[in-house]
Chains A and B, each alone.
Chain A
Amino acid sequence: MSDKSNKYGYVGVDIPAQSFGANKGVFNPAEINDLVANNQWTTFGQLELIETQTYSGAVANIDFLNLQESTYNVHLLTVNNLGVTASGGQGLVQFFESGVIETANVYQRAWQYGNATGTFGESKSTADDTVFSFYVSTGDVTSNFYLYIYNAGDNSKYTFATGQMAKYDVATPQMQFGSGVLPQTSIVNGIRIKDSSGANWTSFDISLYGIRYS
């Protein structure tokens, strides 16, 4: 059905359909606001901040529960200055499936690690409770990493993560890079960062972004 209302500078003619990258006409501020709200206005900057969490006190679990997974197919999680003291455990990244945290040994992961003053090696599992783990020793550890997360909102596809880390573990620089998967066709709508030993995080600045149109 044609739309002959007066919009976008057009009067009495078929009004062009509007979409990202294909806006046609002369727009007034109200029309622009409506198009922005409907995601039909061309505006660049598709790395969109969803949420930032900053340390305000010792906490064991850092949860992101607003992934907006129906909007974004790819997410970017940036983790800065994630600190823990005397853990002796592993840092873990787990997913919530439809609001329920998945803690069973159903994840698969494969990560390469390297120590500035030690060895390189493989960290892998086909039955783990995390999509990404990173060793945190008995001393002070500060970890920094990013993860790209794919298909969180697609209940017909597995949810993947790829990423890279730079860590300072008891004065030893370390790196990790690799990939992981939750091989279950489910809706992932949350992310948890925790320590396997239950230690509290003592610092962090973490942001979650969605990549629109991904």
Chain B
Amino acid sequence: MATNLEFIKSASADNVTSFTITDIFSDKYDVYEVFVRGNGSQNVGSLNAEFLDSSGTDIAQGAYDTAILRLNPASTFGEVRTTNANSFEWAYPSGSDFDFGAKITVYNPYSTSSYTFATIQSMAKQGEKAIVVAKSTTSAEQMAFYANQHFTPINVSVFGVK
């Protein structure tokens, strides 16, 4: 049967500073859509994430490169560049208690012959458009999401793109 967007898993948590969704990447798909909704409670600057292997280890610790355009409705847009970082930013509540919505498109996470890439569109207090490369050929099966305060809540839904 011809299909398009295939549901894999959804999960949520409340009042947590980190959240891991397991068993989402496999050899069944090359491209994934990850939708994230929720709220970053007070004093959250940026919201970050990592790709994890089957044992929960970050596949690219110190090896995330990003290019981010923060789209601020109230001020000049900001460019953020990182190389060899420990995680990547996917939304920017900008130090305020603000809801968020995001779509992270992930490429090749399960491959052991290519890096894992992602493109991001999100909106919180500020919008964001970003690219990410995790410079690792380790196979990822999970994602971890981090806030420096609590997610209240965080909802993650993962789909494979057939």
- Tell me which residues from 185 to 214 in chain A have a Cβ below 8 Å from any Cβ of chain B: 211-214
Contact present for B127 and A162 (CB under 8 Å): yes
> How many angstroms between the C-alpha atoms of A179 and B127 in the bound complex?
5
Complex partner residue of B73 from A73, A109, A213, CB under 8 angstroms: A109
In angstroms, how far is the closest chain A Cβ from the Cβ of B70? 9
In angstroms, how far is the closest chain A Cβ from the Cβ of B159? 6
- Looking at chain A's contact residues, the main secondary structure is strand
Contact present for B123 and A161 (CB under 8 Å): yes
> Does any Cβ of A come within 8 Å of B121's Cβ?
yes
> Does any Cβ of A come within 8 Å of B71's Cβ?
yes
Binds A, one of B44-52, B56-64, B95-103: B95-103
> How many angstroms between the C-alpha atoms of A70 and B162 in the bound complex?
26
Contact present for A44 and B123 (CB under 8 Å): no
Binds A, one of B3-11, B81-89, B108-116, B136-144: B3-11
Per-residue CB contact flags for chain A residues 82-125 toward chain B (1 = under 8 Å, else 0) read: 00000000000000000000000000111110000000001011
Q: Which chain B residue lies CB-closest to A74?
A: B35
Complex partner residue of B35 from A108, A110, A164, A214, CB under 8 angstroms: A214
Per-residue CB contact flags for chain B residues 126-140 toward chain A (1 = under 8 Å, else 0) read: 111100000000000
Q: Which residues of B contact A126 (CB under 8 A)?
A: 73-74
**Range of interface residues on chain B?**
35 or more
Contact present for B122 and A162 (CB under 8 Å): yes
| A-B interface contact total, Cβ < 8 Å | 116
> How many angstroms between the C-alpha atoms of A44 and B73 in the bound complex?
38
Q: Which residues of B contact A110 (CB under 8 A)?
A: 71-73, 77, 126-127
In angstroms, how far is the closest chain A Cβ from the Cβ of B87? 21
In angstroms, how far is the closest chain A Cβ from the Cβ of B56? 22
Contact present for B71 and A151 (CB under 8 Å): no
Contact present for A148 and B100 (CB under 8 Å): no
Q: Which chain A residue lies CB-closest to B127?
A: A179
- Tell me which residues from 149 to 168 in chain A have a Cβ below 8 Å from any Cβ of chain B: 150-151, 154, 157-158, 160-164
> How many angstroms between the C-alpha atoms of A148 and B98 in the bound complex?
18
> How many angstroms between the C-alpha atoms of A178 and B126 in the bound complex?
10
Report which residue of B1, B5, B155 has the largest number of chain A beta carbons within 10 angstroms of its beta carbon: B5
Report which residue of A111, A150, A154 has the largest number of chain B beta carbons within 10 angstroms of its beta carbon: A150
> Does any Cβ of B come within 8 Å of A181's Cβ?
yes
A interface with B by C-beta (< 8 Å): 20-21, 43-47, 73-74, 108-112, 122, 124-126, 148, 150-151, 154, 157-158, 160-164, 177-181, 211-214
